[in-house]
Structure 1
Amino acid sequence: MEKKNRIIYWIATIWLSLGMVSSGIVQLIKMKEEVDMINHLGYPEYFLTIIGVWKMLGVIAILVPKFPLVKEWAYAGFFFAMTGAVISHVSSGDSAMESFGPVLLIVLTVVSWYFRPADRRLIQA
């Protein structure tokens, strides 16, 4: 069972990390489509830099061994950022398809957090 949980953890964590890094890069370089989207949602352009930097730092925190408290904060940050993205899209009248990416990242965040090994938890089980 332990091996299966580790495999689930690493698959979810790698996909979560790839999703956060790729979207973080797009936000940091201020790709035109991303700028258009952030403006459509009603946020200022500089918000892209803030979110992009925090995504990169969150991925580092989740992947680096030790520092379980920092990992908890990173998971919470990912969860809040992605639920905020979903709420922003819904509030702006966007189609459900616009929320697919953030919803997928929410699921990956929860799965990665839930299946994380004992040595990556705040309280060792």
Structure 2
Amino acid sequence: MKKRGKIIYWVATIWLSLGMVSTGIVQLLQMEDEVQKMNTLGYPSYFLTIIGVWKILGVIAVLVPKFQLAKEWAYAGFFFIMSGAIFTHLAVGDKAVEYFGPALLLVLTIVSWYFRPEDRKLINS
């Protein structure tokens, strides 16, 4: 992989990891705003714990060397969680500002996955 690709990968992966860990912690703490948002979106508050745990475990899987299959699952989970968040906000008619966070994390997920080094891929080309 060229130097440019490695830089893109690490920048995207670090920002993705920071975003997932920070939102995961907020969800695990079940802060009042998050609980209220989940209720507005139609989800039970315990869903925050499930999502928070999986986000943090996903970040660990993406950052730790080896375990390529776990990385693929983590990227898939991030994709499903963020695309689901976007569609949920669409379904309840939220303002455009509500889409920014999930959309940014979705883009970072795709960029990080696409530019990951060969040794972090399940099947090397």
SS of equivalent to 1:124: coil
* Structure 2 unaligned regions, length at least 5: none
CA RMSD of aligned residues (A): 0.7
Once the two structures are superposed, what CA deviation does each residue of 1:35-62 show, in whole Å capped at 9, x if it has no partner? 1100000000000000000000000000
Distance in 2 (alpha carbons) for counterparts of 1:4 and 1:83 = 27
Structure-2 residue corresponding to 1:110: 110
Q: CA deviation at 1:81?
A: 0.3
Residue-pair matches, total: 125
Structure-1 residue corresponding to 2:28: 28
Once the two structures are superposed, what CA deviation does each residue of 1:13-48 show, in whole Å capped at 9, x if it has no partner? 000000000000000000111011000000000000
Aligned-residue identity in percent:
70
Q: CA deviation at 1:119?
A: 0.2
What is the 5 A alignment of 1:1-125?
2-125=2-125
Q: CA deviation at 1:96?
A: 1.2
* Structure 1 unaligned regions, length at least 5: none
Distance in 2 (alpha carbons) for counterparts of 1:63 and 1:31 = 27
Q: CA deviation at 1:69?
A: 0.7
* Ranges of 4+ aligned residues in structure 1 off by more than 4 Å: none
SS of equivalent to 2:43: coil
Distance in 2 (alpha carbons) for counterparts of 1:39 and 1:10 = 35
Please, what TM-score do these two structures have when normalized by structure 1?
0.98
Please, what TM-score do these two structures have when normalized by structure 2?
0.98
